[in-house]
């Protein structure tokens, strides 16, 4: 399909048969006069009184416990940049569709006309009691770091910036599997990251928490190497500054084991890839054009494992492997926040699922794919794998309980989702 044909198909998809991708569904009967009186006046009076007496009762009598607010100001829309809050609405509706499709979570998308951190945070904090959780989306760096920090402080429900932590969880899961296949360990590898924005920062923070040695990491941004001699570093970059004489990407990548690209197209040259250690791992996540295309990387070296953000290549790093199930687990145990233990539990669950045999029905859902099994071109599960719901949500809920983030016990009611539930046998 040509780019023009794809654009026209996308416009038609969003416009017909009715505009948009989400709608509100009524969950209670409302056909009779009695049912309407229970739904509204006078029936609402008693749950109102119960909630006024005990705010926790809102979880029993309203949709709060299964409702996520997807909030944005449109300052970093996908790969399109700062196009404003209203232009981000198709993306936010798409996110709501994914929450519902993969984890049964209802969402309201909230596009906030606020370019400064204080106004955005104030708006979201004041409406946060409506929801069981807040998903921050498409808010640009560095503002996103402060937005998330302040909302976590002010809100009593989980707040999660998916562009940061969803990406980090998927990268960590894929990297652990790739390193296993390459006969390496996270604790031993040398890693170079090109890109110092929200996604890169979150990836590195999580990997450091999981055992990547800080002294084995070099980070580069648009101004070059992040080192202790630089005077222009904000705190979120200064944490990665090394006391090193290394200044160029070529110097850093010589004999490096891992390249993480969250920067721009075609920035990893053949010469740079050739200089890396035996059996390297490449995460080239710039979208739509990665730092190096997999076919080029494999033409240069036959011992490399490559992941990208694209669905038309193997090893896609796709946040939908993570965020619906992180929220499902957090909501089900009514977690106050999403902590490091819950993120690492999600990493482990996603990585483990990729090592399981892949049912034929999942393979059949992907056109042109004949088989899937754990290996250099399958280090992460596919988004259409229904087993993600049980595996990741369960792990996150258990971690929330064990770490003290939960306010109610582990529910032990996660459905054993089978492939046949999603891909019925004909």
pLDDT above 70 covers what percent of the chain? 96
Mean pLDDT across 58-76: 97
| Residue 334, Ramachandran bin (φ over 0: left; ψ between -120 and 50: alpha; else beta) | left
Distance, in Å, from the CA atom of 403 to the CA atom of 132, rounded to the nearest integer, reads 19
Residue 365: predicted pLDDT: 86
Residue 412: predicted pLDDT: 57
pLDDT digits (tens, 9 = 90+) for 182-202: 999 999 999 999 998 999 999
Residue 419: predicted pLDDT: 37
pLDDT digits (tens, 9 = 90+) for 258-274: 999 999 999 999 999 99
Residue 368: predicted pLDDT: 82
Mean pLDDT across 240-252: 92
Going from N- to C-terminal start, the domains of the chain cover 16-161, 166-308, 319-422
Q: pLDDT category, 418, cuts 50, 70, 90? A: very low
Concerning whether 64 is annotated as a catalytic residue, the answer is no
pLDDT digits (tens, 9 = 90+) for 139-155: 999 999 999 999 999 99
Distance, in Å, from the CA atom of 261 to the CA atom of 294, rounded to the nearest integer, reads 13
Residue 423: predicted pLDDT: 37
Residue 338: predicted pLDDT: 97
Distance, in Å, from the CA atom of 63 to the CA atom of 65, rounded to the nearest integer, reads 6
Give the rounded distance of the alpha carbon of 15 from its chain centre.
Answer: 27
For residue 326, the tally of other CB atoms under 10 A from its CB is 30
The string of DSSP letters for 16-60 reads: SSSSSS------S--SSHHHHHHHSTTTTHHHHHHHHH-GGGHHH
Distance, in Å, from the CA atom of 325 to the CA atom of 321, rounded to the nearest integer, reads 8
CATH number for the 16-161 domain, one of 3.40.50.10380, 3.40.1190.20, 3.10.150.10, 3.30.420.40? 3.40.50.10380
Mean pLDDT across 134-138: 97
Interior/surface letters 30-42, b for 16+ CB within 10 angstroms, e for the rest: eeeeeeeebeeee
Residue 315 predicted with pLDDT over 80? yes
Q: pLDDT category, 2, cuts 50, 70, 90? A: confident
Residue 79: predicted pLDDT: 78
Concerning whether 40 is annotated as a catalytic residue, the answer is yes
Residue 244: predicted pLDDT: 87
> Model-level pTM?
0.93
Residue 370: predicted pLDDT: 85
Residue 411 predicted with pLDDT over 80? no
The string of DSSP letters for 341-382 reads: HHHHHHHHHHHHHHTSPPPHHHHHTSTT-----SBTTBSS--
Bridge partner residues of 77 (DSSP) = 81
CATH of region 166-308 = 3.40.50.720
The active-site residue out of 40, 61, 228, 366 is: 40
Distance, in Å, from the CA atom of 189 to the CA atom of 306, rounded to the nearest integer, reads 16
* Helix spans in 155-242 (H): 162-181, 198-209, 235-238
Residue partners of 331: CB distance under 8 A and separation at least 6: 65, 66, 68, 105, 132, 133, 158
Average pLDDT over all residues of the chain = 93
Residue 45 or residue 360, greater confidence: 45
The active-site residue out of 64, 89, 95, 382 is: 95
Q: Are 16-161 and 319-422 in the same CATH fold? A: yes
Expressed in angstroms, the distance from the first to the final Cα of the chain is 29
Mean pLDDT across 20-42: 95
Which stretch, 147-161, 226-240, 410-424, has highest mean pLDDT? 147-161
CATH of region 319-422 = 3.40.50.720
Residue 366: predicted pLDDT: 87
């Amino acid at each position: 399909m040509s780019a023009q044909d794809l654009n026209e198909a996308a416009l038609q998809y969003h416009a017909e048969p009715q505009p948009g991708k989400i709608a509100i569904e009524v969950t209670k009967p409302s056909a009779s006069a009695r049912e309407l009186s229970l739904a509204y006046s006078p029936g609402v009076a008693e749950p109102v009184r119960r909630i006024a007496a005990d705010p926790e009762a809102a979880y029993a009598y309203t949709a709060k416990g299964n409702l996520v607010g997807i909030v944005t100001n449109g300052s970093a829309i996908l790969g399109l940049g700062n196009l404003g809050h209203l232009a981000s609405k198709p993306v936010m509706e798409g996110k709501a569709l994914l929450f519902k499709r993969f984890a049964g979570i209802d969402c309201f998308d909230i596009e906030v006309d606020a370019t400064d951190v204080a106004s955005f945070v104030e708006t979201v904090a004041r409406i946060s009691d409506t929801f069981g959780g807040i998903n921050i989306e498409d808010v640009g760096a560095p503002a996103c770091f402060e937005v998330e920090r302040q909302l976590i402080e002010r809100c009593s429900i989980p707040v999660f910036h998916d562009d940061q932590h969803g990406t980090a969880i998927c990268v960590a899961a894929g990297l652990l599997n790739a390193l296993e296949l390459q006969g390496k360990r996270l604790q031993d590898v040398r890693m170079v990251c090109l890109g110092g924005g929200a996604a890169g920062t979150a990836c590195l923070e999580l990997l450091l928490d999981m055992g990547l040695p800080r002294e084995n990491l070099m980070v580069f941004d648009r101004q070059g190497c992040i080192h202790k001699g630089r005077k222009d570093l904000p705190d979120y970059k200064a944490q990665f500054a090394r006391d090193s004489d290394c200044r160029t990407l070529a110097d850093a990548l010589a004999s490096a084991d891992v390249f993480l690209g969250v920067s721009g197209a075609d920035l990893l040259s053949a010469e740079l890839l050739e200089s890396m250690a035996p059996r390297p791992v490449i995460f080239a996540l710039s979208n739509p054009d990665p730092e190096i295309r997999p076919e080029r990387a494999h033409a240069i070296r036959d011992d490399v494992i490559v992941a990208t953000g694209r669905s038309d290549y193997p090893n896609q790093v796709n946040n939908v492997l993570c965020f619906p199930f992180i929220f499902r687990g957090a909501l089900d145990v009514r977690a106050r926040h999403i902590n490091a233990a819950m993120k690492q539990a999600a990493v482990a669950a996603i990585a483990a699922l990729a090592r399981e045999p892949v049912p034929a029905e999942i393979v059949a859902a992907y056109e042109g794919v004949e088989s899937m099994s754990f290996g250099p071109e399958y280090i992460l599960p596919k988004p259409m794998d229904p087993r993600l719901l049980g595996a990741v949500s369960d792990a996150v809920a258990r971690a929330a309980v064990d770490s003290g983030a939960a306010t109610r016990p582990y529910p032990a009611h996660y459905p054993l989702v089978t492939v046949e539930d999603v891909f019925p046998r004909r």
